[in-house]
Every structure is written in C-alpha cells, then in structure tokens.
Chain A
C-alpha cells in the first residue's frame, strides 16, 4: 500500500499541493486527474523523490520514502517526454537500470529480452533512439521502467505526445500489461476520458487541492462538488428561471447549484407532468450531429442554454421551435460551488 499523509509541496511562497491525503492499494491502477497546474504531476514527482514535500510523509509498502534518494525508492518512472538516453541504443537504455542495480552481467540479456517481448519491442533493440516513432519510444520508456521490476510504476502523462488513435490503443496496452504484472500503478493525466477508461480509482485534483477520490463511476455519477462535475464529462448547470423552478422542488443548501448530465435530459413538445419530473419551457437553439448521438441545445426564456443528448442522428425538431426541457428530479445533482 502507498500512503500520502498530510503532504504539502511548496515552491518558495507558492503552495502547489495543499494537505494531501491518499491511500493507494496494492495492485491498483490509480490515476491523478486534473487540469494543468493542479498539482498532480508535482505529487507524482514527490513520490518519485524529484520534489521534496515541505511537510507530510509518503510511505510505500511499509517503507517511509521521505529520507530516500530517487535511486533508493525502488520505483519505475515513465516521463511525459520519455527521457530516453539519446547516447544509447534501445538495448542499452533498457539495460541501464539493471546495471545500476548491479544485476549480474549474465542475467541482463535475458531480462532485457523478456521485457522487450512483453512490451512488443523485440525488433527495435538494436536501433538508435532517434530512429523510433513516438509510439515506439513510449513502449521503450515503459520497458525501461519495468525491467528492474519496481514495486510501483509511475506514469506522467505518458500518452500526451501521441496522436488520438495511438493514445487509445496504447492506453489499452498499458492497462493489459499492468493487469498481467499486477504492479501498483499511479498514472497522471489531464484527459478525463483516458482516466475513466483505464483506472480502478481516480483522484481529482484542482488548484493544488484533492477534490475527490473514487471509482470512475462514483466520480461521474456522484461528483463531490461543482469542480469535479465540470471537469468529468459534459454537464448542465442551471441558472435563472430554471434554477428557481428546481429550487422550489428540491430541498437543498442555499449555496448549492443544480447540475444534470445531458443524457439525463429529454426534450419534449408537451410538459411532462409526472410527480418526479420538472419541465422547463425553452426553444431549440441548434443541433450538433455527433454520429451515434445528436446533441440538442435548447435556450430557456432567460437565454440560458441547456444541452441534451439523444441517441441516433434523426430528429424532427426544428430550430426555434418551442419545446420543454424535461428531467427527473432524482437525476439532479445539488453541488457545492468551489
């Protein structure tokens, strides 16, 4: 288990990470998610020993890490830009950690070969680093980190330099590899879809604060506050008359705002009069065809926009047609504004 307790990280007077507490279970795929500048990479680098927390402790598998140098922490780190050594070929890059760990010379070729097979880079072992594509470099960076059999694998936005298609296939590979090795993994990304797709649990960061920890489902369906809700997936925030209508039906804190996911909203020509539904008069503003879905954007009487998601690409609504935005009270999230 990895435990971060009361971690504070400062750069001079600026506090990058505030009072952070996280527990990560053995074998878990754990993701730090958040917009840039939120402290997620800083926290990861603190675990690796590249940043020194101003206070707090980090323990991993019962060992206190704070007093240890990066080279003594027994973890693998995959850098955003891969950080492959340009003066060495692929084989030498991978063997570097084994040599630094004083692995007997005889064992090195077999271990390099074995990790190369697992990561699918066997044919590149003799190549120079600058002869490889971004995707290949990425696999080598992972192989280099894994070959020393670290207890923990840290990945700092490893897919951000790849194109969209390659990102999807590579993230699946990373997940498969992690499952087969059973290695505890901490993954940093700003891409919420990526985080949802591969994580066991996610920690959502925002301006140096941890906002929520949970499984992808928990975070999507029950965001702890407005920052999490806005960051994870599309969401409607109700203002003006719509807000007033909801407030009369839902009992909640005066500071809370109402949020509803677009797929929980339906557009109807007549108001839904069910006991648990609310219908807000609006007009169709525009459509966005997204292939399997159609996004309908409606405009309320006081010019607020509400987005709804419909399956299929056919709709018989017309722009400026008067409609009702209907939603189930149970789907409304009353969230604290941060």
Chain B
C-alpha cells in the first residue's frame, strides 16, 4: 500500500469517527433518552408519565387541541388552496400574475416573524382589529387570541407550501382532457372538479399529509397567539419544560413523533398507490377559461382581491410602520412621517444588534456543520453501498421523521448533567447546544438535496479522472465539487435564511447569554422598552429582505445550472 493511500485512509477514518460521534451523541442518545425519561422513573420501568397525562386535563386538552387544529387547518387550507389554483391557474382573472406573487409572500417570512407581524395587525390593539372595531363595534376584540388566531395564521401561512406542491401537478394536466369533458357536456366548473382535481388528487394527498405534519408541529403560532388557555403539543412541551416536568414533555414528544411516523407511512403508501401519469404523448398546455356568469365573475374577482389583500396587507403595514415614529407604532395609529430612524437605532445600538448578530453567528456555525456532515456522508453513501453506509443514511434521516421538539427534549434530558460522551461537560445552559440542535434539524433536507445533485454526476467522469492520474482529493476538487457546489451554496443559503429566525428549537434551548432573534421577536409584550415593538418590525423587514434575496438568488443560480 502506498503512503498516499495510507494517509487517505487515516484521514477518512478520522473524519467519519467525528461524524459518527456527532450522530450518536446528538441524535441517537437523545432519542433513547426520550424513551428512558418517559418510561423509567428513578431507574425502574413505570407508566407514571401516562398516568400523569390522564390526570392532567390541561395536558390532555393540548393533545385534543392539536389534532383538532390539524383537522380544521386541512379544511381551511384546502379551500384556500383550491381557490388560489382556480383564480391563478384555471379561470381568467384580471391581475392573476400579481395575485400569484401575493400568495407567495409567506415564503418570504415564515414562522415567528410572520406570527409577530400578524399579531401586530390583528391582536386586540392591532391596527386592523382597531379599524374593524370602528366599523363593527360589537365584534370580539380578542378574536385573534386562541384557536381562531392560530387557525387564521395556519390558513394563510401554510397554504403557500401546500399549493406549490399541487400547482406543479396542476400545470401538468393535459388541457385537452378539460376540453374533452366540456365537449361531452360538462361545464367549466364541472370539468375542474370532475376531471382536473381528480388528476391532482395524489398531489393533494401528499400535500395534505405534509400540512398535517406542519400543523401538528406548529409552535410559533400557538405559543404566541394561544393566550392562557390554548395550548398545542409543542407549546405544552415548552410550558412543561419550564416546570421541569420532563417525563410528561417527553411523553408528549413521543406521541407527536408517533403521529408523524404514522402520517409519513400513510404518505409513502399513497404515493406508491396513486399516480395518474398523463397518458397522452403530447399534452396541451392549460388555458384559462373566462367565467361566463357575470354575477359569479364579480364574486370570484372580489374574493380573489380580498384574499390578495389579506396576504399583502401585513407586509405593507409592517414595512410602513417600521419606517414610522415610535409613538405611532406603540399606539397603532397610522404614522404621519416616515424615516429610517428605527433601522439606524436597531443597527447602531449594541443591545438590539446583539441578538441579530448572535443569530447570524449561530446560523453560520450550523450551516457549516451541516455541510461538513452531509457532503462527506452523502459521498460515502453513494460510493460504498453497504450496511455501514445504510445505517449512516438512516441516522441522518431520523430528524426528518421525528419532530424537532422530541430531539430537543432528548438533548435537554441527556445533557442537563455531565456526560462522558461530551467530555463530562454540561451542555444545557451553554452556547453549543443551540447551534448543534439547529444543525441536527437541517441535516435531512440538506442531505436529500446534496444527494440529488450527486446522483447527477456521471460515474465515468470520476473514473476517467482517476485513470488520468487524479488522486481522490484532486478528483473530488476538480470533478465532484464543481457539480455539488451550486447545490451546497443554495442549500446553505436556504438553511441559513431559515435559521435566522428559528423559533422552535430556540425557545426550548436559549439562555440569557445566548438569545437568538426568534426569541426577541416573540417577546415584545414582555419587555418594558418602548422601542421593542419598533425593533421587532425592523427585524421582520430585514428578515424579509434577506429571505427575498436568498430566494431570488438561489432560484437564479439553480436556473442557470
């Protein structure tokens, strides 16, 4: 064996030992810990946690709230989603292109920043609620608190992802099937429901399951809008952790995980069973139909514009208010003058700049760790199929199947005391557990994308490079890396963007010395600083800008590729 080859083996061995240590320490051990915390009290097996659950009405209600919320979200999101497809893809509606953009707005600001923005408008003191109260003085000013508020956020924020899935399928429909239905006597609405929708049914099923998953895992909305009485599983886990009731929170996270696994299995089954491939060799592109009935036409147009306003208004108002004076922001009156003062203050004051910079740091660390783990792992999985790499692949995908809160609960219960695996350190309360948890959460999606790009590499290119005398490292640098680099960059950018305002993991793991942006966004009500609300608006606008740039840049980058 040559020295070069020996060196390369040692290097790989070292790298994969570190990766294996990371995965065992921060994925496998926490999962085991959740089971142990749930079913073992003081080292003996017990069902105490289950008994506690049965006894606690509040916790039980959080469970039923979660499933009810998932159910109603499916209904409202499906109605909203199908309506959006009708007005942007099927019927000829004036301004459809603009509407389509408006409906995509939640892609620009998700999670906690969207909830904060909505809350600023729709809470009891919110600008829009106040406006509505002037028109309907008897309406409930607190309508945005509790179930309705959360459902409202779900309906508008979750439809965007749901619809992307279905829209792609919808655009592949062979338009001549719709014409055929019409020539056979169906109305255009009839053709939509009887011919077009059944074809996209499998996509709707998959999207619905993903929707149920996100509704079950919803965290920002219930913890911010739930009020005192409305809890869902995740917000209850946070509350129980605060009370150090770890066994009950671990049990809840297990129930959530079981629900998610069942749903994923159903999705897998459905995807295998139902796919309606278009049978036509040449399919005709979809053409929009005019609504013939003038009354229906006016109603559909009006509803479409109203929906557009619901999507756009929060963004417009947040941007305008963020430029307004602090007094108007606090009192929710329309600003009389606009300036960049709030932005200058946020970025020149160390107290307000700190959480932003901290989130940038945390996200960067997480993204780099994600890349350091997924790229070599995916390469190994592709090059050396076998038992070891299969186990590696499965482990990397665990965070996709299990909800983030379950893994975090496992990390908390494991690393709240010194452990040999982490060199006798107590990680909870320190800096590192937060970026590590971010990393774990982003591994599966990154891996899937990197893997997809890796399979685009022609094996013979690598073989050619080797036979031309290229070493493993040289071949990687000159042949493999150029292919996966664009994906790595865009995956990195998307992950970074998502982590900047991460809330779920942050809420469970932050501490006073390590406060990320998501936590600051959630807390305006708790702070006494009169500028807090203005600061939040500035953060949200900046996050939106970063998201928009990331989205556009990665899309362009990929299109070029």
A interface, CB within 8 angstroms of B = 48-50, 69-71, 73, 75-77, 79-88, 96-97, 100-101, 129-130, 137, 144-145, 148, 161
Contacts and interface: CB of A to CB of B under 8 A. Distances in A.
B182 A87 contact: no
Contacts of A71: 182-187
Nearest to B194: A96
B198 interface: yes
Nearest to A86: B276
Contact of B187 (A50, A69, A75, A87): A69
A101 B182 CA distance: 11
B245 interface: no
A61 B531 CA distance: 77
B100 interface: no
Contact of A81 (B176, B181, B183): B176
A73 B187 contact: no
A100 B184 contact: yes
Task: Pick the 10 closest A-B CB pairs, nearest first.
Answer: A97-B184, A81-B280, A100-B185, A87-B198, A83-B176, A83-B180, A77-B183, A70-B182, A86-B276, A79-B176
Given A86-B199, A87-B199, A79 B185 contact: no
A70 B276 CA distance: 26
Interface in B151-191: 174, 176-177, 179-188, 190
Contact of B184 (A69, A81, A130, A144): A144
Nearest to A76: B183
Size category of the B interface is 20 to 34
Given A49-B183, A85-B177, 8 more contacts: A69-B292, A83-B180, A85-B195, A86-B279, A96-B194, A100-B190, A130-B279, A145-B184
B561 interface: no
Interface stretch (B29-37, B90-98, B281-289): B281-289
16 contacts: A48-B179, A49-B182, A69-B182, A71-B187, A77-B180, A79-B179, A79-B180, A80-B282, A81-B283, A85-B177, A85-B198, A86-B276, A87-B195, A96-B194, A97-B184, A100-B181
B201 interface: yes
Contacts of B180: 77, 79, 83-85, 144
B135 interface: no
B420 interface: no
A159 B23 CA distance: 60
Contacts of A86: 177, 199, 276-279
Contacts of A161: 281
A87 B197 CA distance: 9
B277 A100 contact: no
A130 B199 contact: no
Interface of B: 174, 176-177, 179-188, 190, 194-195, 198-199, 201, 276-284, 292
Contacts of B177: 83-86
A67 to B, nearest CB: 11
Nearest to B184: A97
B429 to A, nearest CB: 56
Contacts of B194: 96
A96 B280 contact: no
A74 to B, nearest CB: 9
B1 to A, nearest CB: 54
B277 A101 contact: no
B176 A148 contact: no
A270 B180 CA distance: 62
A57 B199 CA distance: 36
Given A81-B281, A130-B277, A148-B185, A70 B179 contact: yes
A73 B177 CA distance: 17
A72 B177 CA distance: 17
Contacts of B281: 81, 161
A24 B123 CA distance: 69
B282 A81 contact: yes
B284 to A, nearest CB: 7
B187 to A, nearest CB: 6
B179 A81 contact: no
B179 A85 contact: no
A50 B185 CA distance: 13
Contacts of A73: 183
A48 B174 contact: no
Contacts of B181: 85, 96, 100
Contacts of B188: 69
A77 B277 CA distance: 22
B171 to A, nearest CB: 15
A48 B186 CA distance: 13
A88 B276 CA distance: 9
Nearest to B185: A100
Nearest to A102: B185
Contacts of A69: 182, 187-188, 292
A164 B283 CA distance: 22
B282 to A, nearest CB: 5
A80 B177 CA distance: 11
Contacts of B279: 82, 84, 86, 129-130, 137
Contacts of A83: 174, 176-177, 179-180, 280
Contacts of A144: 180, 184
A71 B182 CA distance: 5
B445 to A, nearest CB: 31
Nearest to A50: B179
Contact of A77 (B179, B284, B292): B179
B158 to A, nearest CB: 26
A70 B183 contact: yes
Contacts of B283: 81
A76 B179 CA distance: 11
A75 B282 contact: no
Contacts of A137: 279
B541 to A, nearest CB: 41
A163 to B, nearest CB: 13
B45 to A, nearest CB: 51
A125 to B, nearest CB: 17
Contacts of B179: 48, 50, 70, 77, 79, 83
Contacts of A80: 176, 282
Q: Which of B199, B276, B283, B292 is packed against the most chain A CB atoms within 10 Å? A: B276
B78 to A, nearest CB: 18
A321 B187 CA distance: 69
Contacts of B187: 69, 71
A122 B335 CA distance: 74
A85 B283 CA distance: 12
A299 B12 CA distance: 77
Nearest to B197: A87
B184 A96 contact: yes
Nearest to A88: B198
Contacts of B184: 71, 76, 96-97, 100-101, 144-145, 148
Nearest to A96: B184
A264 B506 CA distance: 91
Nearest to B290: A52
A161 B284 CA distance: 15
A41 to B, nearest CB: 11
A87 B201 contact: yes
B279 to A, nearest CB: 5
